[in-house]
Amino acid sequence: MVLIQGLSQRLGALRWGWILQWWLVFLAAMAPFALLLNSALNNQLGADPAKTIVDELGSWAMNFLWITLAITPARRVLGWRKPLLFRRMMGLYAFFYAVLHLLAVATFILGLRADLIVREVSERPYVIAGFAAFLLLIPLAVTSTRDWQARLGRRWRTLHLLVFPAALLVLLHFVWLIRASYAEATFYTILLAFLLGIRLYISRRRRY
């Protein structure tokens, strides 16, 4: 009886520990949005608020995509298992910020004018790349649940390989729209090349 009580207390503590960690990561990932909202409400978005909102949301969408891509190599190379528990959340946050980024572009830059939106998406190469990336992210977000994972079986893994072309298109979108400094783009390019390189190396080593 005492043993069972002790065990259930331990399990309860573990459960609470996990819930606490989940909320900490969830709130930390929501923080950029909350800070942006706070700056908007206090008129602290600088000279061009629309551009600040679009750029911040786009940057965070890209950051979370890169974080999602880093989780598997972190487990394989460094043995870090914990971040794996948050991979789905990170991927969904990338999608969340990407949706807000698109909504901000459509609302604050294009004034929700359908003709302008169609023109941008069909004419500007960097927008086409961003749009294509977004289209690839949709099935990944939709099928991110355990239910879909079970339903698709092995095909789920294949489908989720779409994250790689999506990341390359996001990088293209980002590099294409740079007008001044290439430092940030170089940083993101090196990081992505490193993350994809590690995966390639690991998958080749497994094959031989």
Residue 202: CB minimum distance to ligand HEM, A: 24
Contact positions with ligand HEM (CB under 6 A) in 157-196: 170, 173-174, 177
What is the four-CA torsion angle of 130, 132, 136, 137, rounded to 10 degrees? Answer: 20
Q: Does 91 contact ligand HEM by CB under 6 A?
A: no
Nearest CB to ligand HEM, comparing residues 73 and 130: 130
Residue from the set 67, 90, 100, 105 that interacts with ligand HEM by CB under 6 A: 105
**DSSP classification of residue 195:** H
Neighbours of 73 (CB within 10 A): 18
Establish if 101 lies at the interface with ligand HEM (CB under 6 A).
Answer: yes
What Å distances lie between residue 58 and 80, 97, 143, CA to CA? 28, 7, 22
On whether the CB atoms of residues 54 and 108 are closer than 8 A, the answer is yes
Sign of CA dihedral 70, 96, 46, 49: positive
Q: Among 33, 131, 164, 176, which residue interacts with ligand HEM (rule: CB under 6 A)?
A: 131
Of 141, 117, 178, 123, nearest to 61 (Cα)? 141
The answer to whether 140 contacts ligand HEM (rule: CB under 6 A) is no
How many chain residues touch ligand HEM (CB under 6 A)?
25
Nearest to ligand HEM of 74, 129 (CB atom) = 129
Kindly list the residues in this chain that would bind ligand HEM in the complex (CB under 6 A).
51, 54-55, 58-59, 61-62, 65, 94, 98, 101-102, 105, 109, 120-121, 127, 130-131, 133-134, 170, 173-174, 177
